[in-house]
Structure 1
Amino acid sequence: MQTTRQLLLAALAALATLATTCVPAHAGPEAHPRPVTPRGAFEPSEQNNINVFRKVSPSVVHITTLDVQRDLFSRNVQEVPHGTGTGFIWDEQGHIVTNFHVIQGSDLFRVTLSDQTSFDARLVGAFVDRDIAVLRITAPRDKLLPIAVGSSRDLQVGQNVYAIGNPFGLDQTLTRGIVSALNREIDSLNRRSIRGVIQTDAAINPGNSGGPLLDSAGRLIGVNTQIYSPSGASAGIGFAIPVDEVNRVVPRLIRDGRFIRPALGITSGPPQLHQALRLPKGVAIVAVGQRSPAKAAGLQPFSRDRNGRIVNGDVITAINDEAIADLDDMLSLLERRQPGDTVRLTLWREGKIRQQAVKLGESDQ
């Protein structure tokens, strides 16, 4: 009868035999990591991509809109994220520029800076016609790095551009493309035309709205606002509001809390009036407000006499010698001025042309 020692030795021998059969008869040499090949210098275009991102990303912010929900039973109130978008730091006072449609429908906003610190924000003002809004946060000065502002009037089709934003909630994303076209026209939320829009093929997706479009020097040249896409994702056609327009609107929103449009104090006729009466292109006046600039300047509206026949009034065909085709043209030209400015109107009445100086008033809209 085998002893315990003998049984143990037999078991160990069996295990050794099994282990030997599992080892390949011809095992290869021991493997080591490959040596790393030095990369060398970045290409100039790569280095510029890196420089632009490093320079501008601290000025780009993530905007979260919030809804307030109250628990039915506990009556506790909590803030629930409603939507997200992008914005950028405008100045050292904490003003943040974004699209109006990013913050539309919400009263509570949270701004997250590039270092992931967050601040509650309040709405300073918005101009729906240009899809621009300004928020403000109270943050330490050393965290507020304003973006460098460039110009859009001298852009060229084909020049490189960059977009930084938060597509699909992914923070601090850089995409690159070119200026694909200039002077595009898109509709704002209230169907007013936004003109002079920049078209780019830099990838812009949901969440990029309100973020900066940059030139190769890292200067702001536009605010990314819309994409054209049947699928809802980037299809290589994005649109940005030109910075010259932004730089005109934002200071007025900061100063007044709203965009105060200069006004003539008239009511314009519909396009059908021009067609029916074969009037020239422009704005046919069908009413003049009492105590309005138009009234003071003697502008005459279209009307009817006692027999119901139409009495010709004035058609505004140009402002400061810039021709206008319709009401949208006129409003766009007036928005470049301030209440109290004087403009020169070119007026048509019964085939005769005259010019009239008018001191602009303030719109009540």
Structure 2
Amino acid sequence: MQGWRPQVAETSRWKAPVGFVTTPSGMPSSDSVDLDPRERQVVKLFEDTRESVVNVTQLKTVQDRLSLDIFNIPAGSGSGFVWNKGGNIVTNYHVVRGGSQLRVTLLDQTSYPAEVVGVDPSKDIAVIRIKAPQDVLDRLKPLEVGRSSSLLVGQSVYALGNPFALDHSLTGGIVSGLGREINGAGAMPIRGAIQTDAAINPGNSGGPLLDSKGRLIGVNTAILSGTGSYAGVGFAIPSDTVKPVVEQLLKYGQVMRPSLGIRVAPDEALKAIGLRGVLPIDVPTGSPAARAGMQATVRDRSSGGLILGDVIVAVDGKEVQTIGDLYDVLDGCRAGQEVRVTVLRGAARGPGAGKQVELKVKLEERGTSGGSMFVE
């Protein structure tokens, strides 16, 4: 249509785009409907938690070519949930990535601008804070955080979010699997993900996965589908992973991950010679690993061949067979903490050769010494 341009009100009570369906305020009470105990439990779960779930919308700034007026139009949306009464909202990193402006829409359809507090791309987690009056913040209802480590395959779970711009939609299913590995927004995969058959569709990203008590046990983040729509397999980042990340983002604005200060070879490098573990290929002078005496694999200048150095096989008694294992162990540590790193030394002499040596390494914040743990 000639002369048409996007019309989005730019006020503190911005209206959600057409297609966002308000949860009816006149819904009948669960007490007035004939429900069996199981249904009553699920209805109560929804009623108790829906206020905690929000819609997160990215606004993209565009300019009308004819009038040169500047407008904000929705460029993408996802879900999020209230973490505390300070206005902090947890969502996925990929939901807020690249957004010039963010808006958060509450259950009553009031909407407020939001700013990014901190992000962790490696875990696909972001914390944003809404800019709302104090009386609005006082009414926010944080979710209770449960323990994902106690989950069992087969137990009931519920996904709450805004799929396809349909706000506050509830889907149910079971825990289909635990300890899954999924692609994250960062360079490393997300390990330990929860697999569920509860429908997770575009727009559900960043919303909560709840147990039957309404406790947060995961953050919905991905679906396994070639079309981008639900295909029976969804994934969530476990709450035991989310909680420490959020706490660090709130405290520091970033995740202060500990590091050995080394660079490592791809897992395939060790597999090719029949070994399991992590192979340091650079141990910079002054790094925590160097101070502890760790030896890197180096190339012989005369022959051009590799001289196999230490192979990391355990940290604090926890077996390390892959780079992912090493990341998992270090994620549970903190900068400044001393850990016992077990290495296999002298393994180049053949199968069964070498001896285990224990090194005491004082971890530092990643990047402090100029070295970092990444694959080369």
Tell me the equivalent position of 2:277: 282
Aligned to 1:43: 36
> SS state of the match for residue 170, structure 2?
strand
In the TM superposition, residue 114 of structure 1 has moved relative to its aligned partner by 0.8
Deviation string 1:341-361 (CA, Å, 9 cap, x unpaired) is 111100111011111110001
How has the CA–CA distance of structure 1 residues 306 and 225 changed in structure 2, closer, same or farther, with 3 Å as cutoff?
closer
CA contact (8 A) 1:280 1:317 kept: no
Letter in 1 for 2:35: F
Deviation at 1:191, TM superposition (A): 4.4
Return the offset for 1:40. Answer: 6.4
Write the letter of the residue equivalent to 1:160.
Answer: S
Q: Is 2:134 the partner of 1:135?
A: no
- Find the aligned partners of 1:83 and 1:103 in 2 and give their Cα distance: 9
Instruction: Give the match for residue 296 of structure 2.
Output: 301
Q: Distance in 1 between matches of 2:240 and 2:296?
A: 35
Question: After the TM superposition, which parts of structure 1 deviate over 6 Å for at least 4 consecutive aligned residues?
Answer: none
Alignment of 1:249-288 (within 5 A): 249-275=245-271, 278=273, 280-288=275-283
Matching residue of 2:188: 192
Retained in 2: the 8 A contact 1:339–1:360?
Answer: yes
SS in 1 for 2:138: helix
State the partner residue of 1:223.
219
RMSD: 1.9
How many angstroms apart in 2 are the aligned matches of 1:230 and 1:292? 43
Structure 1 stretch displaced more, 56-65 or 122-131: 122-131
Q: 1:361 aligns with which of 361, 364, 367?
A: 364
Deviations 1:312-337, CA, capped at 9 Å, x for gaps: 31111111111112222212211111
**Which residue does 2:178 correspond to in 1?**
182
Q: Structure 1 residue 230: deviation in Å? A: 3.4
With the length of structure 1 as denominator, give the TM-score of the two structures.
0.85
* 261-270 vs 68-77, greater mean Cα deviation: 68-77
- Aligned residue for 2:332, secondary structure, equals coil
> Following TM superposition, by how much is the alpha carbon of 1:163 offset from its aligned partner in structure 2, in angstroms?
1.1
Cα displacement (A) at 1:254: 1.2
Letter in 1 for 2:298: S
Aligned residue runs from structure 1 range 51-70, under 5 A = 51-70=44-63
Q: What runs of 5+ residues in structure 2 fail to find an aligned partner?
A: 1-31, 347-353
CA apart distance, 1:306: 4.5
* Deviation digits for residues 45-91 of structure 1 (CA, Å, limit 9, x no counterpart): 11111110111000000010011112345443211110010000001
Whole-angstrom CA distance in 2 between matches of 1:354 and 1:250: 36
Provide the identity percentage.
47
Q: Give the deviation of 1:107 after TM superposition.
A: 2.6
What is the Cα deviation at residue 152 of structure 1?
A: 0.6
Point out where structure 1 has 5 or more consecutive residues left out of the alignment.
1-38
Count of aligned residue pairs for this structure pair: 327
1:206 aligns with 2:199: no
The one of 70, 79, 92 aligned to 1:99: 92
Verify: 1:145 aligned to 2:141, yes or no: yes
Change (3 A) 1:40 1:168: closer
1:4 alignment partner in structure 2:
none
Amino acid paired to 2:148: S
Change (3 A) 1:286 1:229: closer
Change in CA separation of 1:275 and 1:45 when aligned onto 2, cut-off 3 Å? closer
Contact 2:124 2:186 in 1 (8 A): no
208 and 40 in structure 1: CA distance in 2 versus 1, 3 angstrom threshold: closer
| Distance in 1 of aligned mates of 2:319 and 2:268 | 20
Secondary structure of 2:38 counterpart: helix
- Distance in 2 (CA, whole Å) between partners of 1:55 and 1:360 is 43
* Aligned AA (2:180): R
1:171 to 162, 167, 170: 167
How far 1:143 sits from its partner (Å)? 2.7
Corresponding residue for 2:310?
314
Deviation at 1:251, TM superposition (A): 0.5
Q: 1:317 & 1:357 partners in 2: Cα distance?
A: 14
CA 1:57–1:40 in 2, change beyond 3 Å: closer, same or farther?
Answer: closer
